[in-house]
Structures are given as C-alpha cells and as structure tokens.
Amino acid sequence: MEITDVKIYPFDTSGIGGNVKAVAEIVINGVLKIKDIKIVESNRGFFIQMPTRKSKSGEFVPVVEAMDKNLYLHIRRKILDKFKEEISRYDSYLQEF
C-alpha cells in the first residue's frame, strides 16, 4: 500500500478550547481518498483521528479503521510529516514579514 498524496488543511481550534490543529486527506495507491482525518494535539504530542460519524445514540463511531497497527503507524507518520512540513513553511512565511 502506497500513500500517493497527502493534503493538510491547517486550522486551530485552541481559541474555542479545542485541540484540533488541522484536517488531512490522503490518497492510497492513487485510487482511494480518505478525507476528514483530524490532527490533534495532546500533552503527549500529536496524533491522528480517523473520520467518525455521530451515531443515533450520540456517540462518535469510526467510519474508517486501520485494522493493522503497522498500517496505522504508516498513515500517521505520512500525515504528521506533511503537517510538520506545512507548519514549518507557514512559520517561514510569517518570519518574512
């Protein structure tokens, strides 16, 4: 399995008490797109949360799950590497002003 594209859409919810720093989408093997992967900051660092939906009972349940831990770690690494690259680029842009 190859992740052929990663897009990051940064936004910060800390102003309203949230921990979401961005939303990502990935393309697998050029044929399968997964959207709405959240990048969340915790006191132990960043992690990803796969897409969820609200059930009739009001709880959020996963829409997409990586059934293999190594697959999850691979997806997480690709997304967080791209996130750090985007944040670094944004910080460099701000320093120019």
Residue 45 has pLDDT above 90, yes or no: yes
Percent of the chain with pLDDT over 90: 78
CATH 3.30.420.40 is held by the domain 3-95: no
pLDDT confidence tier of residue 15, bands split at 50, 70 and 90:
confident
pLDDT confidence tier of residue 20, bands split at 50, 70 and 90:
very high
Name, in order, each residue with C-beta under 8 angstroms of 78's C-beta and a sequence gap of 6 or more: 3, 6, 26
Task: Please state the rounded mean pLDDT for residues 19-47.
Answer: 96
Task: Please state the rounded mean pLDDT for residues 63-73.
Answer: 95
Domain boundaries, the chain: 3-95
pLDDT confidence tier of residue 43, bands split at 50, 70 and 90:
very high
Residue 34 has pLDDT above 80, yes or no: yes
pTM of the model: 0.86
